[in-house]
Structure 1
Amino acid sequence: MTATQVESFGLPWESSYGYAQAVRHGDTIYLSGQLGHRGEDLLAPAPLDAAGEVTDFSGMAEQMRQTYVNAAELLGRFGAGLENVVEEVLYVLDIPSAFEAAGPVRKAAYGREDPQVASTLVGVTRLALPGQLIEVKFIAKV
């Protein structure tokens, strides 16, 4: 039987939606979509118009950096780190601003010019929180 370990941040949306932030099953760690928050506060929330649509994507890099910080914290609870990530999927509201931010932010997060991780960038129309610009799902092997 394979042991399973589960980790969360203790945030309100974890219990209201009903999920764990991270699950380790055997030698694989699955991280739920991570976002750029500290505690309950979203960093650099994008401004919204009256219809709730984002009007400025300039906070993409800041949210992206914090997303990788949060992922590294969760992975650390399993004795792992970003160096163990084998796949990531970035869900973003704006492909051009994400593509501009992703190179520098990801290279810094992974600590190398050529991150050794399979990566997919997907444009979406909405994310979970108002002002949220990015969410990243990770799979790591230990």
Structure 2
Amino acid sequence: MNDIRTASHGVPWEDSYGYVQAVRRGNTIYLSGQVSHDGPDLVAPAPLDDAGAVTDFANTAAQMRQCYANASELLRRFGASLDDVVDELIFVLDSDAGGAAAEEVRKEVYGRPVPQVASTIVSTPRLAFPELLVEIKLIAVV
């Protein structure tokens, strides 16, 4: 039961911040907040003004899809999938854009009109990088 395995994406911020992307302990997999990246490059970054503030939230759904894609990759490494997710916490910069994106994207990625996962969505003023609009933290049981 104390068998612990970890997984990471190999992106620079894992070392600089000091964390792993996923931890499996027993039959539970805990995923750190997943953001919209492919390797070290952000996917669908939000446009920023000269002060570094987001000017448009239109990329929220695209970022959300990439967050789930990154989560799926980590889960796959443990022989799991989004079908095994029991709890998710979604952080968004804009509640309206985040809610609209979640209504669409969650149904797509979980493959059903009512995903069988406990879900909480929270609005926050900022994420790890200024161009991020979404971050998703998941717990799966296999």
Q: CA deviation at 1:130?
A: 2.1
Name the residue aligned to 2:17: 17
1:35-80 CA deviation, whole Å, 9 max, x = no partner? 1111111111111112211010000000000111110100000000
Q: Distance in 2 between matches of 1:130 and 1:123?
A: 15
Query: Which runs of structure 2 are paired with 1:1-142 in the superposition (5 Å)?
Result: 1-142=1-142
1:91-112 CA deviation, whole Å, 9 max, x = no partner? 0100100111111101110011
Q: Aligned with 1:126: secondary structure?
A: coil
Q: Aligned with 2:2: secondary structure?
A: coil
Q: Aligned with 1:74: secondary structure?
A: helix
Share of identical aligned residues, percent? 60
Q: Aligned with 1:98: secondary structure?
A: helix
- Root-mean-square deviation (Å): 0.7
Runs of 4+ in 1 over 4 A off after TM superposition: none
Q: Distance in 2 between matches of 1:129 and 1:60?
A: 14
Q: Distance in 2 between matches of 1:103 and 1:130?
A: 24
Letter of the 1:122 counterpart: V
Gaps of at least 5 residues in structure 2 are none
1:114-136 CA deviation, whole Å, 9 max, x = no partner? 10000000000010012100000
Q: Distance in 2 between matches of 1:40 and 1:106?
A: 25
Q: Distance in 2 between matches of 1:83 and 1:110?
A: 7
Q: Distance in 1 between matches of 2:53 and 2:75?
A: 33
Q: Aligned with 1:15: secondary structure?
A: helix
Q: Distance in 1 between matches of 2:96 and 2:26?
A: 37
Letter of the 2:116 counterpart: Q
